[in-house]
Structures are given as structure tokens and as C-alpha cells.
Structure 1
């Protein structure tokens, strides 16, 4: 009887481990960024990840600052892909190029934001985080995913164009001193051909799409 009890406990655990292993293998072939995905965004030229934290700018808007960091395992570099306010996107649906989205900072629940304030180091357009505890802000939180494919692919750089001001999300190449010593300045620039304006999807949780959401050539998978 004791041996039977051991087997009845172990078999479900082995099945769970097998399922997790299969999903991990399938995840390595993930192609698209989807609605509900939580990810890190790396600037392809600077090799820095988009970052925020509960530290406010000392000038400009005084809102929560947005920077870029080299470290890969900082939880303050996670962003959730969401629909813009008043619209919905189905969880797991691949994001089409030229779609308007919000990027919500996971740790503070505020949205990536821009406006006509001046950035503190380079004098470009300021980028901040804005919104309440439910992630609700205003139209300054909306960004268009600009890419050359039909969908936002994980293996291809994209640009983010601010809907209200038409500025492109970019690094300036400058770094802050205290209290965020060494972190890179993030700004809005007027031209998509300017330096430091390409972003690549990196580490994250890529939400599982369903069959009817995908292009005919896509696989179904998740990644953590």
C-alpha cells in the first residue's frame, strides 16, 4: 500500500515536468510579440535595456524617470504590452506593425509616456512614466510599433513612434550621475533615422497565442 501511494504521488509530478519540458522546447521557436507579453527591450546600438524606477526627474515634468541599463536581470526593466486606453487586444494576439500600444512598467504600473518637456541631459524630448495604480494615464501613453514586417517579430528591431508628438523612442548616448549613476538617458527624437532608435525584444514571458490569432506560418508556443 505504501509503494502504491508513492507511485500515485510521483506520476502526476512526472507528467507536469514533462509538460513543462515540452513547452520550454517549443518556446525556443517563439516568433512574435503578443498582447499581454511581458518583456525587456534592448536598444540595438547601445546594448542597454529600457528601464524605469520610482525616481522622479528633478526638472521638466517631474514625473517618474525612464532610463536604460546594461544589467540584464533587473526586474525594473520589465514592460507589459497592452492596448491603448479605450481599446482592447486579445491576450496572446500577435501585435501587427503600425498598431498603437501602451508599454506598462510592470513594477510601478505606470505607462511609458512622452510630451513636449525637455529631457534633462541632451535637450531632446523627455520620456517618462505616467498613470495611476491601474495603469490609466492619457493619450501621451500611446506608441505606434513601426516595423518592416506584417507583425512585430522577436528577431527583428522595431521603432516606437509617440502618437501625440510623432517623436521616436531613442537613447541619447548620455548617462546620468547620482542618484542613478551610469544609467542612460532615454528621449524622443524627431527622425526615425536618428541614432539609437532601434529596439529588440529580449527576455520575458511571451504569452501563448491561439490558432486563430496567428498567421498561417506561425507556431504556437510560450517563453519565460
Structure 2
């Protein structure tokens, strides 16, 4: 079948934009994805482990880890306390999420408790089997419409309006050399408030499995 020049151009254009749309979908961080989060200011990954804070809330500690390979730095992007995010759906800028620690099944959490080193706001890991409370909700602050994998974003605690940050201060024993993670409303933490998704498993929209 003969195709005119106009038809060829239109067909190629549709193919290009179709491929480009698929590529853009794959660039998003999506519901259900399991990621490591890299801190721009301190060059560490958000980390947790079955070690409790010796002060403050006494809940499971959250730190910044230099290692790229430690399995305790994986977090799953999940629905917040009041809405449902389907698996594979792109996370929108301004949307609330939960970050659930894969190894211990507790949620990234903050509250009005003083952090151990910087005396700002403590960040802990709270709950069991992914179940916690409304203090586990974080709003993704980014530019554009959706959270992109190669984009630095901020996480604003929904209840207290403080930003997830790395203070740059280091712990002694039993977590020697790991960095303090806290949440802050001040400007002093600068680039320590910016995070990027790095290593991980990203759920594609086609893998949604019809979840409602």
C-alpha cells in the first residue's frame, strides 16, 4: 500500500511520541517501587536497622549510610494514611507517600521529639508490618508534574511541615560513622534536604495487575 509523504511523517511522529511517552513513564518513581534515597548534601543513603535510639522516642533509628550495597537502605514507596496509590502509578509532585523500610517493615516517621545530635526534630522508623500512623506521611516536593528518578526532591513531613534532612553530624558506637537524619524547618541544612532515588526496583504502570 502506497503512503503519501504526509502519512509517513504523521506515522513517524506518532511512533516517536508513543515511544517518548513510554520512556517518560519509565522515568517516574511509582507506587510500590523499592528504592534507595541518596542525599545531595552529605552523599549518603537513607538507612535504618534494628537498633533503637538510646534517647528521645526510643524508636528504631534512621541514619545516613555511605555504603552503596547495604540492603538496609531499601525503602518502598507506599500509600499514605488517607489515600490509595495504585501500584505502578507515577507519584505526583505535592502528593503524600509513606516510605516503608524493607528489612524491618516500619515506616519513616517524624514527630516533635528532639533529634540526638542536632536537637532539631527526630526521624525514626515506626510501626509494624507497614502499619503506623498519620505521622508516617511525607509530601513529595518537586518541580514538574511527577517525581522523576534522576530528580532531586524534598520530603516535607505532612504533620509538622519539617523537611527530611541529613545534618552532617556523625554517630559514635554502636553505629559509628553513620550520619544523623532529622527533619528541619530551618534553612541551615541546605542541600542536606535534597534526595534522589538511585538503586532500586521500579514498578511499571503495565505491572499494575488491575489493583484498585
Same fold (TM over 0.5): yes
Aligned residue in 2 for 1:139? 134
Q: Does residue 70 of the first structure (1) align with residue 71 of the second (2)?
A: no
Deviation track 1:161-207 (CA, whole Å, cap 9, x = no partner) reads: 00111000000010000000000000011046742000001000001
Aligned to 1:102: 98
Q: Select which of 162, 167, 181 maps to 1:167.
A: 162
Asked if 1:82 corresponds to 2:78, the answer is: yes
**Partner of 1:89: helix, strand, or coil?**
coil
Query: The residue matched to 1:115 in structure 2 has which SS?
Result: strand
> Can you list the C-alpha shifts for 1:120-165, whole angstroms capped at 9, x where unaligned?
0111100000002x21111110000000110000111000000111
Could you tell me how far apart the structure 1 residues matched to 2:116 and 2:42 are? 19
Q: Could you tell me which of 197, 207, 210 is aligned with 1:201?
A: 197
Match of residue 50 from structure 1: 46
TM-score computed with the length of structure 2 as normaliser = 0.83
In structure 2, stretches of 5+ residues that fail to align are: 1-21
SS in 1 for 2:181: strand
Question: Do 2:98 and 2:138's aligned partners in 1 also have CA atoms closer than 8 Å?
Answer: yes
2:157 equivalent to 1:182: no
Partner of 1:76: helix, strand, or coil? helix
2:13 counterpart residue number? none
Q: Are the aligned partners of 1:44 and 1:200 in contact in 2 as well (CA < 8 Å)?
A: yes
Secondary structure of 2:150's partner? Answer: coil
Q: 1:13 is matched with which residue?
A: none
1-structure distance, mates of 2:151, 2:187: 16
Query: Do 1:100 and 1:143's aligned partners in 2 also have CA atoms closer than 8 Å?
Result: yes
SS at match of 1:71: coil
Moved over 2 A (4+): 191-194
SS of residue paired to 2:135? helix
Measure, in 2, the Cα distance between the counterparts of 1:201 and 1:55. 24
Distance 1:165 1:119 in 2: 14
Instruction: Confirm or deny that 1:120 pairs with 2:116.
Output: yes
* Alignment root-mean-square deviation, CA: 1.9
Following TM superposition, by how much is the alpha carbon of 1:30 offset from its aligned partner in structure 2, in angstroms? 3.4
Structure 2 counterpart of 1:32: 28
Tell me the TM-score normalised to structure 1 length: 0.79
Q: Distance in 2 between matches of 1:85 and 1:98?
A: 15
Distance 1:51 1:94 in 2: 24
The aligned length equals 185
CA apart distance, 1:208: 1.3
SS at match of 2:67: coil
Structure 1 runs not aligned, ≥5 long: 1-25, 213-224
| Alignment partners' CA distance in 2, 1:202 and 1:43 | 10
